[in-house]
A and B are shown apart, each in its own frame.
Chain A
Amino acid sequence: MSKENKSPNEGQNLATVVVVTSGKGGVGKTTTSAAFAAGLAQRGYKTVVVDFDVGLRNLDLIMGCERRVVYDLLNVIHGEGSLNQALIKDKRQDNLFILPASQTRDKEALTFEGVRDVIADLQERFDFIVCDSPAGIEKGAMAAMYFADEALVVTNPEISSVRDSDRIIGMLASKTRRAEEELDPVEVHLVITRYDPSRVHRGDMLSAEDIQEVLAIPFLGVVPESKSVLIASNAGIPTTLCEENDAGNAYFDIVDRFLGHKLPHRFLVAPKKGILSRFFGKE
């Protein structure tokens, strides 16, 4: 599907703002933001991924550009540097840019007007703006979701993560620009990460179906619990820019479904172990 069909800002040629959020920390928001943004860029869309985790930035590490950070989001907001100076162009993918967060300031420095102006500026230049939200429901998380057109709600198959997602879904429906201006609501999508189908099969992990039923929002797909994620983060390469791997493939499916393609779901059942791998204990 073309971007014109996808974008809620249809006709204006403005970027679609997508927040990656969860409430709970450590569920895979930053991993997802990086892989999703890089995946959109790989599909030909000019994409910027913005780190809203002020004070605890990590996206730069996952994207492998930590040594290229000079100016950040807060410098731009407070007029200490221009957007052009702060945007980092990815070295591997021409369509991909990163706007890092500040390491030193705290979240209170994220002003509403400042974020609004930066987003508005980015909307003129990109097709997609992916906002990596910090955990929690405080200022940073609220700023990351406020201007969103769509949201990826990242959830682990674990009870506290599901409840936090439920709270965040409520906030997306009430505490965003779209809610306050009575526009079409933020389009929310469920992304389940760190999924282990073999544990689901044994009955000791919530299934994707269970989580969909509890949260009752459209489902984009699962990302399996995968060793590739740590290897990718060690190297500073989003999983969708690495050599082919299961997490990267799962994220590409999620990107393609987000873009409107109908794809059968994968990674919902555990791969059968072959005889050889059973003997040698490989995975």
Chain B
Amino acid sequence: MSLFSFFRRKEPTSASIAKERLQIIVAHGGRRPSSPEFLPQLQKDILEVVRKYIPVGEDQINLSLDRKDDCEVLELNIAIPDQTVKPPPRTRF
């Protein structure tokens, strides 16, 4: 098992996608903490760091803030493309 497969999370279920979308659009902002404004920027920054090591696209990273009981969970999902191991470049003498 490579280190990277550790990062590879299960695909989110369609129900969890629905919930995430709802949490962004419901109006009662005052009744619960909505996702903080820095989330998109944080996502960009993380993407930049990850890209130094692995080639990933914008849409392969997903950051979300969840509430479980009384604690907030910041969840980071990065889909890592399958890496086909390339042979070393041909060397000529």
Give the interface of A toward B (CB within 8 A): 159, 162-163, 166-167, 169-170, 200, 202-207, 210, 213-216
Contact = CB atoms under 8 A, between A and B. Distances in A.
- Is chain A's interface secondary structure helix, strand, loop, or mixed overall? helix
B26 interface: yes
B52 interface: no
B13 A214 contact: no
In the complex, the 7 A-B pairs of residues with the closest C-beta atoms, listed nearest first? A203-B13, A166-B26, A210-B19, A159-B18, A214-B22, A204-B14, A216-B31
Given A166-B27, A203-B16, 14 more contacts: A159-B21, A162-B26, A163-B22, A169-B28, A200-B15, A203-B15, A204-B13, A205-B15, A206-B18, A206-B19, A207-B15, A214-B19, A214-B22, A215-B28
B22 to A, nearest CB: 5
Contacts of B74: none
Contacts of A207: 15
B43 interface: no
B90 interface: no
A206 B17 CA distance: 9
Taking residues whose C-beta sits less than 8 angstroms from the other chain, chain B's interface range is 10 to 19
17 contacts: A159-B21, A163-B22, A166-B26, A166-B27, A170-B28, A204-B14, A204-B15, A206-B18, A206-B22, A210-B15, A210-B18, A210-B19, A214-B22, A214-B23, A214-B26, A215-B28, A216-B28
A135 B23 CA distance: 23
Contact of B22 (A162, A169, A204): A162
Interface in B1-49: 13-16, 18-19, 21-23, 25-28, 31-32
Nearest to A209: B19
Interface in B34-93: 67
Contacts of B21: 159
Nearest to B19: A210
Nearest to A207: B15
Contacts of B27: 166-167, 170
Nearest to A158: B18
Nearest to A200: B15
A205 B18 CA distance: 9
B81 to A, nearest CB: 24
B15 A166 contact: no
Contacts of A169: 28
A23 B67 CA distance: 26
A44 to B, nearest CB: 35
Contacts of A162: 22, 26
